[in-house]
Amino acid sequence: MRRPRLTPSLAFLLPALAALVLDAALPPWASPAAGQVVEGIDIGAARSRAKAQAHDLEAFSSEVGKRGEALRQQALDTRTAAQANRARVGSVKTGGAKGAFDFDAMIAGADAAAAGSKLERPKLIVFASLSMPVPSLKTLFRDVTRAGGVVVFRGFKNGSVKDFMAGLAPAFDKGEKIDGVGIDPRLFRAFNVEAVPTYVVTAGDIELCAGFHCTTPLPPYDRLAGNVTTDYALSTIADGRGPGSAAAKVYLGKLRRNPR
């Protein structure tokens, strides 16, 4: 069902308001002839003032509409952040009683991992999207899990947990155990992520900012964006001798030690 728009609009009031302005500018006995002056009243000038005021009303309506749209977006961000607190996943076995992929268990196990806004571990964060090809997502989940990192999504597909689950399902096998899948739009905003996959390795903890317009103070970090493997991304960051180099070497070692 289509959600009603929250954006207020005064556009439908403009004709009536313009008429009121014009009526207020002209006495009831004044002739409508343009440019006519009656007992010191310049009717043409009055009409010009009325048009200018109508223009001001239209501008006011537009500004109200913009502010309403901004409030609507803030409400959507609030809902997404609330859903993210339920959906940040620690270590959850995804196989149900019958061996099928159990998304309910995955969501139900999120609360213990969602306490607080301080991301101490992992410091390997890979930003992903359901728009990525399924084979790429499969490989990404497995490699990042082996390395000890987390795969983060911006939000639920179409704002729906059900649609998100349906989109994620093909990337997992029945009974498969996957660690470290999260949903947090704040991380996307903090690192200004515009493309996926994007690999980030930080040199310190992240204290996430929960407000709409605040800025998360980020620790030193390295990042690499592009359709590359986790091994390649970590190797590149490790060899770059940047702030995330030491941590990248640790994650790369874990990735290569853990078999598929």
Pairing between β-strand 150-153 and β-strand 37-38 as defined by DSSP bridges = unpaired
Per-residue pLDDT band for 58 (boundaries 50, 70, 90) equals low
Residue 222 burial (10 A CB sphere; 0-12, 13-18, 19+): buried
How confident is the model at residue 214, as a pLDDT? Answer: 82
Strand partners, 42: 37
Q: Please, how many CA atoms are within 13 Å of residue 175, restricted to the half-sphere of its CB?
A: 3
CB burial readout 89-109, b (16+ within 10 A) else e? beebebbeeeeebbbeebbeb
Specify the higher pLDDT residue, 119 or 173.
173
Q: Which tens digit of pLDDT belongs to each residue from 128-167?
A: 999 999 999 999 999 999 999 999 999 988 888 899 888 9
| Model pTM score | 0.58
The answer to whether residues 30 and 38 touch, using CB atoms and an 8 Å cutoff, is yes
How confident is the model at residue 159, as a pLDDT? Answer: 85
Is the pLDDT reported for residue 56 higher than 80?
no
Distance of CA 199 to the CA centre of its chain: 18
Q: Which tens digit of pLDDT belongs to each residue from 85-128?
A: 444 433 333 444 333 444 444 444 444 444 445 656 559 999 99
